[in-house]
Amino acid sequence: MSTTFKEINGKVEAPIYQIFQKDQFPKVEYQDATLSLTSFFGGTERGRSLQLTISNSGYIQLTKDAVKELRDSILDWLEGKQLEEI
């Protein structure tokens, strides 16, 4: 059984593809993305596990406040607190 217990909003970098000239950096735009934390049992060998899923592929850039929110959720999970399903 798995339980998604937290969603945190952030941004992902999305390159804008175009023809570049020498010494020109690619342009990027930032798109909204959601990082979902899902607790699940990974079998007898791995035990209780945590999956981090990003709504768009790639990496996510979080503000300091969002990082604190992520930290607090992970600490709750590590301490085995009762997690409410969203």
Cα R_g (the chain), whole angstroms: 17
Q: What percent of the chain has pLDDT over 70?
A: 84
- Does residue 36 lie in a domain region? yes
* Residue 85 counted as domain residue: no
Residue 12 inside a domain? The answer is yes
Output the pTM of the full model. Answer: 0.62
Is position 46 within any domain?
yes
Can you tell me the mean pLDDT for 20-37?
A: 80
At 59-68, the pLDDT tens digits run: 566 778 888 9
Could you tell me if residue 83 is inside a domain? Answer: no
Question: Rounded to whole angstroms, how far apart are CA atoms 30 and 11?
Answer: 6
Residue 26 forms part of a structural domain: yes
Kindly indicate the confidence band of residue 79, based on its pLDDT and cuts at 50, 70 and 90: very high
| Structural domain of 16 | 2-78
Q: Is residue 8 one of the residues assigned to a domain?
A: yes
- Are 34 and 54 in contact, with CB atoms under 8 Å apart? yes
Cα separation, 52 vs 84, in Å, equals 17
- Average pLDDT value for residue range 67-80: 91
Assigned domain for 84 exists: no
Domain total of the chain: 1
* Bridge partner residues of 51 (DSSP): 38
